[in-house]
Structure 1
């Protein structure tokens, strides 16, 4: 999952970035509203975390302009302001949730997980597809009742697929949601991870879990829910 973090407190920004990376998020950070707005318009994100008290352009304006540009990813606002009016103003501008400072980073990650799940139409942290399931809170992957061990990058790709079943995702899109902006987008590393996922999750191709569409990318096959009861 690729996250935009707009926070001018460099110490807090660094701390949050570490927690998000440890939770398998890929994070682009900005320290003022102008840079945050540019990144939010220019790049594709799964969610954004935006402080309201930003220099250059305040957080409310950033959110308003992002929504005007039809950037519809979930937005979690951070605010040191305690009044309900400020919270309402942020939500009315287009934010989806808020946290008041100070807060625990673990709560931020939990709220972010919930926002991303809801935006993908998933209410529970456990997402099922046939006999396969992931828990976006514990980062566990199962095939029926068996736990499957995935590397951090493998998990990120599989989670992204599970949140977007049936959608074709190009290698470029997958890379952008997993690696930093300076990563070589022409690398064949995604192909390697797809092969590993197939070997670990569906070694006999019983389910045709991850389909290759030549010249387009990859697609997670939606499987009947009844199979997950296995």
Structure 2
């Protein structure tokens, strides 16, 4: 049995080929999936299906993704939300996040990246759902707030733990300083982006990553974890 068995995902998109593609892929990964062709149907289905995670297209008939996520948050249900948008507009992303979305992806996107973001969201929002997770040389146990690297328990501050967990769970994805600040420190953090550099330097020291082969810097873009 896969660790994903029993985890429910709601898909809402008015493009049938996208729904079919995602539904097939997610079911192959072991998720339980329900889909809706518009926002109104998605909201009704969410109340009945009780998903752990909803993947919502922004532009849908009947009710758009913004209204769906707003209505979902009003119910008080603990549902992770990833929004899909065909437009790389900052205003749309900010609006969705402010209404309660947890993440967003720009179409077209790689399915493997969507899987990584789903895992990260589930790990952050439902830490007891999957138990511990292993990525390459890392073993992350969110219940114990413990990260083991190459069979050694790391000595980490709470912020170092959250930062390392976030970048490892999103391995292979380029993460900007702004994204890291938002997800690790929170949207209300009033400090400078340079704090990310300080913590990344500390993590590299503790990981013995002197040549930056594990946590790579992409100048002017951000950081990416490359697992060995």
TM range (shorter): 0.5 to 0.7
| Of 89, 97, 107, the match for 2:95 | 89
Query: d(CA) in 1 for partners of 2:15 and 2:68?
Result: 17
| Of 68, 77, 81, the match for 1:75 | 81
Structure 2, unmatched stretches of 5+, are 1-6, 137-228
- Hey, which bits of structure 1, 4+ residues long, moved more than 2 A? 134-137
Query: d(CA) in 2 for partners of 1:106 and 1:8?
Result: 22
Cα RMSD (Å): 2.1
| Of 118, 128, 132, the match for 2:124 | 118
Structure 1, unmatched stretches of 5+, are 129-133, 138-230
Query: d(CA) in 1 for partners of 2:59 and 2:134?
Result: 34
Residue 43 of structure 1, CA deviation: 2.5
Deviations 1:127-154 (A, max 9, x none): 44xxxxx5489xxxxxxxxxxxxxxxxx
- Check whether the contact 1:40–1:71 (CA below 8 A) recurs between aligned residues: no
| Of 27, 33, 39, the match for 2:33 | 27
Q: How many residues align?
A: 130
- Check whether the contact 1:52–1:78 (CA below 8 A) recurs between aligned residues: yes
Query: Structure 1 length normalisation: TM-score?
Result: 0.53
Structure 2 partner of 1:183: none
| 35-44 vs 82-91, which moves further | 35-44
Query: d(CA) in 2 for partners of 1:52 and 1:18?
Result: 21
Residue 109 of structure 1, CA deviation: 1.1
Select the structure with the greater relative contact order (CA < 8 A; seq sep ≥ 6).
1
Residue 120 of structure 1, CA deviation: 1.8
Structure 2 partner of 1:52: 58
Residue 50 of structure 1, CA deviation: 0.4
Query: Structure 2 length normalisation: TM-score?
Result: 0.54
Structure 2 partner of 1:158: none
